[in-house]
Amino acid sequence: MSSDHPADLGRQTPRPAGIPVSRSRPSERLELLLVVAGFAVLTAALFAPLSLAPGDWAYQPENGDGQFSVWNVAWVAHALLTDPLHLLDANIFFPHRGTLAYSELNLLAGLLATPAYFMTGSAYAAHNSALLASFVLSGTAMYYLCRYLVEDRRAAVIGGICFAFCPHVIAHLLHIQLLMTAFLPLSLLAFHRLVDRPTAMRGSVLGLAMTGQALACHYYAVYAMLLVGFAVLTVAALRSRWSDVRYWKSVATGALVATATAAPIAWPFVALRSSGFERPIEASRQFAADWRSYFASAALLHEWMLPYLGNWKEVLFPGFVAIVLGLAGLALGWRARGHLRDTAILYASLAVLACWASFGPDAGLYSLLRATVPGFSLMRAANRFGLIVVLALSILASLGARCILERSRRAWMLAGFLLLAAIADHVVVLTFAAPLRPAAVYDTLASLPAGAVLELPVYSRLLGFRRSRYMLDSTAHWKPLVDAYSDYQPQDFIDRLDVLGDFPTREALIDLSRDGVSYALIHLNPYEPQARQDLTERLQIWSPYLKEHHRDAEAILLEITGRPD
């Protein structure tokens, strides 16, 4: 039986029909509502109790990367609500500007977090709401990609679960940008729609989808460019589209729209690279996958494998359901005709290439990509290509589920079993703790007039990640910080770490006054007894230039009122 789905237009061979996709707008809205609600319920269940009270819980609150993510998302939400024109001028590394681009922008995460931040003013509630939303969006996006490719809603749900809740993503809850995967399947969905009916409009949608991924994560934006580029060439070969003018015009439209709309997002990183910042290739070797990575997972059903692995570098196990159904999808899809076989070939090839690239520079492909693809020199974690392996396997798994279900006499019973198996395959026991709250001194700082702040101790370059706590606590006052932490740190800041760390001294007071820094907040607990005694003596010597606003057993807050000659 042939399908009347609009995607069939222009196909050389019709799609075999699974569950027909309705063209009724009310039914499409209802389907969208049910899909979003289903993934929302599953997300809430997997991430309880954080999902029940996002402002009251945190995942590993002591971790520096986690603190950075909370600050980053909260800053974007705060800036969007108060001063969107200066969004990139984050309150770090004063007096530098454009400092948000020193690491991931996290614009999509901040946008998702804005309603929660507006209602609560809580950085944790904002961050956690974006975290939870990312899984709902990723599952929904993958559902619609799989539904489009295999035309079976039941199989599409399984593909969505395998992708959205894969062990690799769960392992990176501390890195909010790595959770923002939804626009990868959306970009591919836009591409496949373009293939089936090449138009300028569909080309434009493809370009906007790729820009959406740039808003979410610059790593995945590069991946989206590679995915679509590979798919363009592969489909052209599989379907003999080399001479199809409409196809290439639509693809060119997508490229132009993506370039034009993503340029403002990419420009800060281009400027950063022009200043000399890039990742050394040795770092990519350090963050490359190995065979153990593809068997490592913290999911309950996978933990039994860990003792046999030894030391693994990354969590990249796709899950038993994704592997078994994915292999079935490859085998059954290869034997099928038309678009099902094309789908099997495309995504099996993609999985192999992504796995190859994840092994880093020494395996060869990653070095080639680094030498030829713009943006690669700003990245270092080759193992993150493992997510593309999961994406491809999730699509193949939905294809396998569709082929198996259409051969079953009890398809709905089997579909229910596969659904439960997919959910069980991704259950992880997560431990949440109470979030870190700013000390009392930050209430005083928040009440003072605007001005930049130096927090002490400054910490060395090697211990710079500890400054992420200063950034997290700055969400209580949003004053600019002199010392902060990010992937890129200005050279002039690094050069004067010793001067700033010895505050108060003549050199430090002159340096800070020149830059217009108003306050110094000294945290006493990290200082050893002798260092604290030396600090007390310096405070007495330079007291004419300092005004005390707060003092307790943990901290001293000073205003810099003058500078020595």
496-522 pLDDT, tens digit each: 999 999 999 999 999 999 999 999 999
Confidence band, pLDDT 50/70/90 cuts, at residue 252: very high
Which residues are CB-neighbours of 68 under 8 A, at least 6 positions away?
103, 468, 471, 472, 485, 486
Residue ranges of E strands in 492-537: 517-523
| Burial of 290 from C-beta contacts in 10 A (0-12 / 13-18 / 19+) | middle
Q: Angle at CA 348, nearest 5°, toward 384 and 22?
A: 100
Q: Between the CA of residue 170 and those of 124, 147, 316, 458, what are the distances in Å? A: 18, 24, 10, 32
Confidence band, pLDDT 50/70/90 cuts, at residue 13: very low
Q: What is the pLDDT of residues 291-348, one digit of tens each?
A: 999 999 999 999 999 999 988 889 999 999 999 999 999 999 998 878 899 999 999 9
**3-state class of 300 per DSSP?**
coil
Query: Which of 188, 195, 186, 206 is closest to 257 using CA atoms?
Result: 206
Q: How long is the chain?
A: 565
Distance of alpha carbon 55 from alpha carbon 131, whole angstroms? 12
Q: Is the pLDDT of residue 4 over 60?
A: no
What stretches of 275-385 show up as alpha helix (H) in DSSP? 281-286, 306-309, 320-335, 339-358, 365-372
As separate numbers, helices (DSSP H) first and strands (DSSP E) second, the chain gives 23, 6
Q: Is the pTM of this model over 0.85?
A: yes
In this structure, which amino acid lies at residue 51?
S
Three-state secondary structure string covering 13-59: CCCECCCCCCCCHHHHHHHHHHHHHHHHHHHHHHCCCCCCCHHHCEE
Q: Token pair of 222, please?
A: 């590069």
Instruction: Give strand pairing partners of 456.
Output: 522
pLDDT for the residue 16: 41
* Inter-residue long-range contacts of 420-425, CB under 8 Å, 24+ positions, other chains counted: 421/320, 421/321, 422/157, 422/158, 422/161, 422/162, 422/319, 422/321, 423/42, 423/161, 424/300, 424/301, 425/162, 425/299, 425/301, 425/319, 425/320, 425/321, 425/322
**3-state class of 319 per DSSP?**
coil
Sheet holding 517-523, edge to edge: 452-456, 517-523, 555-560, 546-551
Confidence band, pLDDT 50/70/90 cuts, at residue 275: low
Q: What is the pLDDT of residues 368-419, one digit of tens each?
A: 998 888 767 767 889 999 999 999 999 999 999 999 999 988 989 999 999 9
DSSP state letters, 74-136: HHHHHHHHH-GGGTTS-SSSTT-SSGGGGS---HHHHHHHHHHHHHH--HHHHHHHHHHHHHH
- Asked whether the CA dihedral 292, 373, 131, 159 is positive or negative, the reply is negative
Residue pointed to by tokens 């890195």: 175
**Average pLDDT in the 429-447 region?**
96
Which residues are CB-neighbours of 250 under 8 A, at least 6 positions away?
194, 198, 199, 200, 202, 203, 206
The whole-chain average pLDDT of the chain stands at: 92
Confidence band, pLDDT 50/70/90 cuts, at residue 1: very low
Distance of alpha carbon 202 from alpha carbon 193, whole angstroms? 7
Q: How far apart are the first and last CA of the chain?
A: 89
Q: What is the pLDDT of residues 191-223, one digit of tens each?
A: 999 999 999 999 999 999 999 999 999 889 999
Confidence band, pLDDT 50/70/90 cuts, at residue 52: very high
Which residues are CB-neighbours of 492 under 8 A, at least 6 positions away?
none
Confidence band, pLDDT 50/70/90 cuts, at residue 280: confident
Residue ranges of E strands in 383-445: 432-433
In this structure, which amino acid lies at residue 73?
V
Integer-rounded Cα Rg, in Å, for the chain is: 26
The CA-based dihedral angle spanning residues 405, 411, 413, 414, taken in that order and rounded to the nearest 10 degrees = -20
Instruction: Give strand pairing partners of 454.
Output: 520
Instruction: Give strand pairing partners of 559.
Output: 519, 547
**Average pLDDT in the 523-545 region?**
95
